[in-house]
Structure 1
Amino acid sequence: MSKTSAKANARYLSKILKAHQCRDVVIAPGSRNAPMILAFTEDTDYNCVSAPDERSAAFTALGMTIGSKQPVAVICSSGSAVVNFYPAVVEAYYQRLPLVVITADRPLEWVDQGVGQTIRQENVYGRHIVFSANLVRDPSDTLARHYNQRLINEAMIASERGPVHINVPFDEPLYDLIDEPEEDIHLIQKLKPELLLDEDYMNGLAEIWDSSAKVMVLAGQMPPDKWLQEALENLHQKSPFLVLSETVSNLDIPNAIGSIDRMINTISEEDRKDLAPDLLITIGGEVVSKMVKKFLKEHPPRYHWHVDEAGEVKDPFMSLQTLIPVQTDNFFDQMEGFVTSRESAYPDKWLQVDRKKSEGQQQYSQKVAYSDFKVFDHILQNLPPKSILHCANSASIRYAQLFDHNKGIEHYANRGTSGIDGCTSTAIGHALTTHAMVTLVTGDVAFLYDSNALWNDRLPANLRVIIINNQGGNIFRIIEGPAGQDSLERYQETVHTLQGKGIAETYGVDYQKTTDEKELLKALPAFFENASGPRILEVMTPRLESPGILKDFFKSLKKG
């Protein structure tokens, strides 16, 4: 007979989570969480990963939710371990990822009484969590047992909207095992209806669409969605419109401009007015481009709809009028049945402009000196087909927006809060859920900040990490403001001479370094070959020259 924890709450968790399709668990070590460690690791239905650093553990779990598209649990001990989960919780909240945060706690009676590793854990994540459950410590009667099981069910149901927190107090003893008991477990499931707008609403929206000569869809961060792509393509065939997307939009459709900054930042003011839409429809999550946000605030649309199944108001352009709370693909499917068939020169004109900008980018790439810009071009051209790309914040994800997207490559980044913390851990988590090659392109500061990500007992062999080392936070030489300050190098760019070799050696990861274009081009093909473990490629680039080369890129496209 199989063994499990003697603590009822630990058993309830292991039984209820898997009923809600949560089969992956990332465990940060500790003693107070021992009952949960025993319950999950003794259950062969779970895939358990050990990650000692709590911040890295939580981001690893977050990456696993991205890859599996299912809830993933992360478990820790009590005390400060709990708040080390917070950065990943916030990222999951703004990406609406089903991160299930389970924290062990000491009995409530000991809070604020000078007992070690004891803090105020109930509702500790405040407004950045969609549901918090605080379980009864030792459920000894039917009502208490039902209460705890109900709370766990509620948390798992709520996780479809974002991260949830289950706080579980345990008293000693913590390590007792028992034979798996036969006990009633109460399960609650939620049915998901397919929501559609009624005919009156659709007629009103179609009337606005038909009266708008320039219809633009702006796509933010989204996972690949073939149904949405099909719906957009079908609607475009009937009533053409322009799509502005980004790498992390994961849209591969013919009427999309995928490099927004490359175009918006290099056209005249007169052209910007011509590009400005009559009807703007926003979909997906956060938008990387600051330039498109500025453009749409300066040239507000006459109508702005936001399609969001969760029904949350997001109005970064200060123009939102209509919130459409239905599934995005369903909305565009419906629109096809209501709009009038017509032709429009608007998308074709700007797609042609985009093609010219693409040609200009390719010409510039060929002649430009070795730099961050040049390195990104080579990396993107050498990515394996049907692989997965993660870009760290902040310069890495912004450079990626300047080049044409490779078809079949999925793109991801932690753009919920856009922090540098956890980028490597997230990529590792994603790689643990797939056989595809996962490549992280990161800056030196972001890599160093999350170096404990490699402290993981299941480092995936399909992970490739490319560190673009320009000896500091080079983004501060690109954005307006910091470059002219005396404090730049020490307090913002944080100039350094550190490299990733020592970190790679510490964790037993294959490492290679390149210092120029010739070495890079020689290294890339072999770097992406199959191997028995992950690999790190550190690419040294010029700190002072790269920002100027990027600025010259935009200048060259403006002239062209």
Structure 2
Amino acid sequence: MAGDRNEDEYTPQHYKTLNIQPIYNLAEICHRHGIKDVILSPGSRCAPLTLAFARHPEIECKTISDERSAAFIGLGMSQQTKLPTALVCTSGSAALNYAPAIAEAYFQHIPLLVLTADRPPEWIDQYDGQTIRQRDIYGKHVKESYQLPVDLENEESEWHCYRMLSEAINTSLEYPAGPVHINLPFREPFYPQKDQITSYNKAVKVITQTGSRPVLPESELKSLIDRWQNTQRKLIIGGQGSLDDKLASILEQLSATQKVPIIGDILSNLHQVDEVIAHSDVFLGQGKKGLAESLQPNLIVTFGKSTISKNLKLFLRNHPAVEHWHIQPAGSAADTFKSLTEVLHTTPEIFFSKLVETPPNEDFNTQKQENFYHLWVIEERKVRRVRESFFPQESLGEFEIVNEILEKTTDAHVHLANSMAVRYANFIGLNPNQSVEVFSNRGTSGIDGCTSTAVGSSMASQKTTILITGDVAFFYDRNAFWHNYDLKHLKIVLLNNHAGGIFRMIQGPADQPELEEFFETRQTLSAKHLAEEFKVHYINCDKRSKLKNQIKEFFESSGPVILEIESDSQQNKEILASFKEAYRLLD
């Protein structure tokens, strides 16, 4: 909530007529496109939109006062529903507070419909209250930006509004999905009179869009399969993506029959694939002599979005493949590993199914490929052996807590906050039999909305939502709880080392005398008072003797719960270093 929401005062002559019907029709168009969820942030200039959505019988509205948190909550909801959540705010700095979540949605390919109320154009740059330059305010971090006409008194203007709204919603959903922005300037008056009758026009113009199924031409597909069969040292990499049982089954079959190593970190949600290479970040970061050269691929095939591992990126940039094919349904692709040669406009399911249907040639290349596969699998198994025997350590640290939580989690959504939480979880991984889907704000990798995103996800899903987060990310986003809605599915594991512990883990800041004051920014906060304030069950664990019972209490709690683990930042660094050293010593 930004600025003075009630600065506009009206005398009776203000209330001449308000043509609010077109705004009500905009809400109806959203409903007809399948939009069910709207996040409203209180304001006066956005009153026509607020009323239109709040009064619609088929749309569920929630009021979130902090626009930054509101936008991330909307992102979390869209993450689950796969439909745009509409965000509505007033004019001025309120719109700017949406920006972090909009950027995250853009790079994560999550649809959002962003509706910002605005002053009319004649009052921009005239020192009018709560007025900034809102047109195209999000720049290139939205798929498209639209400016609605300010006058809605004629059929042409109405048609223009309706057409743009349908276009915006369709654009948000077409590949790659993402946020779209509609700026709506309103002149006064924008509150209807007390007895003014409004309704929703069921015959309002709606433009729908049917998606196409991206299939490669047969001649092109045959050429790719021939090259695939005649290439040795092939590698498949899955980036961040949704849990997909069918795709996992296809990839497992391909890996088993054609001996192709498949890399998938915890955010790829490929843990169901037997022998998936989930711990490349550990073994590629150890600098073992000759290992990089032995693992260098000739062909990599990628799909999905970003990968967590900096070590994997550096490995493939320093030891590039001859060919790199990236699979996505449409559009240009990122050249993350500096080796991209072809973009295949199809889906992973279609393409890998074709490879499975094609039996491999029984020749020298096949044997080379099998040897290459076993080199990757051997290193992966070493890390898994270390992980299985590493805990418990003498001192209770964050790494062990994350291991305990992940091992005991099933039939749930897991959200991983940025900084160390997502890295700990990636070092540990998941087992093939765990029915868990993992999410993280790795579009921009910021800490600012990790809790709010998990809150939104828990609102939109009936599954348990478990957030594993660090103290800086958690306290930075405390307004995620500032609302009146039930969070009965939400469980939070708070790793509180009273500092930004990641700065002890990365080279550079850890060696500087300014580490504690200017990088870690140490603090003494506890979640206890926040939990009391927002009526969340609170558990504090500072001893190993409490851990077993408290984790049991955490999972069995019927409402929202925070399990806070207090630990020492330096000790956490040493434990993680010991884990990596245990892998290195296996040889």
Q: TM-score, normalised by structure 1?
A: 0.95
Alignment partners' CA distance in 1, 2:252 and 2:348: 13
Shift of residue 367, structure 1, vs aligned partner: 3.6
Task: Say whether residues 1:116 and 2:143 are aligned partners.
Answer: no
Within 5 Å, give how 1:20-419 maps onto structure 2: 20-160=33-173, 161-176=177-192, 177-180=196-199, 182=201, 184-251=203-270, 252-266=272-286, 268-338=288-358, 340=360, 344-383=370-409, 385-406=410-431, 407-419=434-446
Distance 1:166 1:9, change over 3 A: farther
**Greater displacement, 440-449 / 251-260:** 251-260
Distance 1:227 1:381, change over 3 A: closer
Q: Give the letter for the 1:268 counterpart.
A: K
Task: Say whether residues 1:515 and 2:542 are aligned partners.
Answer: yes
Task: Say whether residues 1:454 and 2:502 are aligned partners.
Answer: no
> Match for residue 423 of structure 1?
450
8 Å contact from structure 2 (residues 402, 424) kept in 1 = yes
Can you list the C-alpha shifts for 1:66-106, whole angstroms capped at 9, x where unaligned? 11111111111110000000000000000010011111111
Match of 2:500 among 473, 481, 488: 473
Alignment partners' CA distance in 2, 1:320 and 1:447: 37
SS at match of 1:401: helix
Shift of residue 341, structure 1, vs aligned partner: 5.0
RMSD: 1.7
Shift of residue 349, structure 1, vs aligned partner: 4.0
Alignment partners' CA distance in 1, 2:299 and 2:34: 40
8 Å contact from structure 2 (residues 262, 277) kept in 1 = yes
Alignment partners' CA distance in 2, 1:42 and 1:269: 67
Shift of residue 345, structure 1, vs aligned partner: 3.7
Q: Give the letter for the 2:469 counterpart.
A: T
5+ residue gaps, structure 1, are none
Q: Give the letter for the 2:402 counterpart.
A: F
Can you list the C-alpha shifts for 1:487-540, whole angstroms capped at 9, x where unaligned? 211111111111111222222222121112222222011111142x31111110
Q: Give the letter for the 1:82 counterpart.
A: A
Q: Give the letter for the 2:115 counterpart.
A: I
Q: Give the letter for the 2:180 counterpart.
A: V
SS at match of 1:257: coil
SS at match of 2:290: helix
Can you list the C-alpha shifts for 1:289-333, whole angstroms capped at 9, x where unaligned? 111011111211121111122322211211111111222212212
Within 5 Å, give how 1:427-438 maps onto structure 2: 427-438=454-465
8 Å contact from structure 2 (residues 497, 566) kept in 1 = yes
> Match for residue 10 of structure 2?
none
Q: Give the letter for the 1:547 counterpart.
A: K
Alignment partners' CA distance in 1, 2:46 and 2:503: 42
8 Å contact from structure 1 (residues 149, 186) kept in 2 = yes
Alignment partners' CA distance in 2, 1:351 and 1:340: 20
Shift of residue 408, structure 1, vs aligned partner: 0.9
Shift of residue 278, structure 1, vs aligned partner: 1.4
Shift of residue 9, structure 1, vs aligned partner: 3.9
Alignment partners' CA distance in 2, 1:505 and 1:116: 37
Q: Give the letter for the 1:167 counterpart.
A: N
Can you list the C-alpha shifts for 1:16-54, whole angstroms capped at 9, x where unaligned? 112222111111111111111111111121111111100
Within 5 Å, give how 1:483-498 maps onto structure 2: 483-498=510-525
SS at match of 1:173: coil
Distance 1:283 1:183, change over 3 A: closer
Alignment partners' CA distance in 2, 1:476 and 1:9: 53
> Match for residue 529 of structure 1?
556
Alignment partners' CA distance in 2, 1:115 and 1:492: 40
8 Å contact from structure 2 (residues 382, 583) kept in 1 = no
8 Å contact from structure 2 (residues 19, 153) kept in 1 = no
Distance 1:415 1:124, change over 3 A: same
8 Å contact from structure 2 (residues 469, 493) kept in 1 = yes
Can you list the C-alpha shifts for 1:434-492, whole angstroms capped at 9, x where unaligned? 11110101000000100001012213201011110001100000001001112211111
> Match for residue 469 of structure 2?
442
Distance 1:290 1:181, change over 3 A: closer
| Matched residues, number | 554
**Greater displacement, 125-134 / 236-245:** 236-245
Shift of residue 416, structure 1, vs aligned partner: 0.2
Q: Give the letter for the 1:239 counterpart.
A: Q
SS at match of 2:556: coil
Alignment partners' CA distance in 2, 1:191 and 1:423: 33
8 Å contact from structure 2 (residues 142, 181) kept in 1 = yes
Alignment partners' CA distance in 2, 1:205 and 1:183: 50
Alignment partners' CA distance in 2, 1:179 and 1:84: 31
Q: Give the letter for the 1:261 counterpart.
A: D
Distance 1:6 1:382, change over 3 A: farther
Distance 1:202 1:182, change over 3 A: closer
8 Å contact from structure 1 (residues 239, 341) kept in 2 = no
SS at match of 2:346: coil
Can you list the C-alpha shifts for 1:160-202, whole angstroms capped at 9, x where unaligned? 1210001111122222152315474111111111111112211
5+ residue gaps, structure 2, are 1-17
Percent sequence identity is 36
8 Å contact from structure 2 (residues 329, 346) kept in 1 = yes
Shift of residue 155, structure 1, vs aligned partner: 0.4
Q: Give the letter for the 2:560 counterpart.
A: P
Shift of residue 350, structure 1, vs aligned partner: 2.5
Alignment partners' CA distance in 2, 1:400 and 1:282: 22
Alignment partners' CA distance in 1, 2:256 and 2:266: 23
Shift of residue 207, structure 1, vs aligned partner: 2.4
8 Å contact from structure 1 (residues 438, 463) kept in 2 = yes
8 Å contact from structure 1 (residues 275, 350) kept in 2 = yes
Distance 1:380 1:181, change over 3 A: closer
Shift of residue 6, structure 1, vs aligned partner: 5.1
**Greater displacement, 306-315 / 149-158:** 306-315
Shift of residue 541, structure 1, vs aligned partner: 1.0
Alignment partners' CA distance in 2, 1:154 and 1:230: 36
Alignment partners' CA distance in 2, 1:518 and 1:272: 42
Shift of residue 542, structure 1, vs aligned partner: 1.3
Q: TM-score, normalised by structure 2?
A: 0.91
8 Å contact from structure 1 (residues 255, 347) kept in 2 = no
Q: Give the letter for the 1:465 counterpart.
A: I
4+ long deviations beyond 6 Å:
none
